[in-house]
Amino acid sequence: MTTAWHDRFEVIDLSQEIYEGMPVFGMHQKTFIMVNQTHEQNQKDTGSPTLGFAARNILMSEHGPTHSDAVWEYLPGGATIEKMPLEFFWGDAICLDVSSIRYPDYIEPADIEEALAKAGLDVRKGDIVLFYTGHYDRTYGTKAWYGPYTGVSRVSAEWLAQRGVVNIGVDQQAIDLTPDDLEFSGHHVCGKYGITNTENLCNLDKVAGRRFLYLGLPLKIRDGSGSPVRAMAFIER
């Protein structure tokens, strides 16, 4: 049975799967999934004549799967994830196709302006801007996923932040050109303006060149440096 909301919107999942052995950026905790209890064990423990409950434990980084960063991750004294405005994680969004730009070239303001013009889009205050680089489609599941890959230049990150963008997203492990940009320019600018970025997205080819409603809420982790998100795009039919 569908509702009026289902009739109104097409929902596209922009989140990568979470599993043991999933690729993780080098400095972060690898993902482990462990059995807490099986159906049989729990039924024996409770003495229930009808059913048992199964559960697992997950050990993973706040930055392991599709996730958003807290300002505190890259700016001591910045807001931790549970203190950041929820408007950073949901709202109006656009996705720009920059898949023709490859390492060692940065995504520059001219590239952003060209992608905007081609799609007939504009950047508005409060927007979430996602970049379809194509890196996920080309390399996920291979060693090439870890890099090298393109990223936003410092000038581009400033260009976006000065226009009121609150969240910069990519379909790769970092918004910075990796591994060369050791100034981590995109993150540095996010810290300067107190905004977030979202990494390890996927399926951005399905929303490239479009404006839509984005939802990628973080977990309410006390003092969190970031959080996994279930990122989704809602596109009006």
All structural domains of the chain with their residue ranges:
29-62, 67-236
pLDDT of residue 5: 83
Q: Do 82 and 207 contact (CB within 8 A), yes or no? A: no
Interatomic CA distance for residues 69 and 218, integer angstroms: 9
Rg over alpha carbons for the chain, rounded to the nearest Å, is 19
User: Is residue 218 helix, strand or coil?
Assistant: strand
pLDDT of residue 77: 96
pLDDT of residue 78: 98
pLDDT of residue 2: 60
Q: CATH number of the domain at 67-236, please? A: 3.50.30.50
Per-residue pLDDT of the chain in tens (237 residues, 90 and over written 9) = 567 888 899 999 999 999 999 999 988 999 999 999 999 999 999 999 999 999 999 999 999 899 999 999 999 999 999 999 999 999 999 999 999 999 999 999 999 999 999 999 999 999 999 999 999 999 999 999 999 999 999 999 999 999 999 999 999 999 999 999 999 999 999 999 999 999 999 999 999 999 999 999 999 999 999 999 999 999 999
Q: Do 96 and 116 contact (CB within 8 A), yes or no? A: yes
Give start and end residues of each alpha helix (H) in the chain.
4-8, 39-46, 71-74, 109-119, 135-139, 154-162, 185-193
Interatomic CA distance for residues 122 and 173, integer angstroms: 26
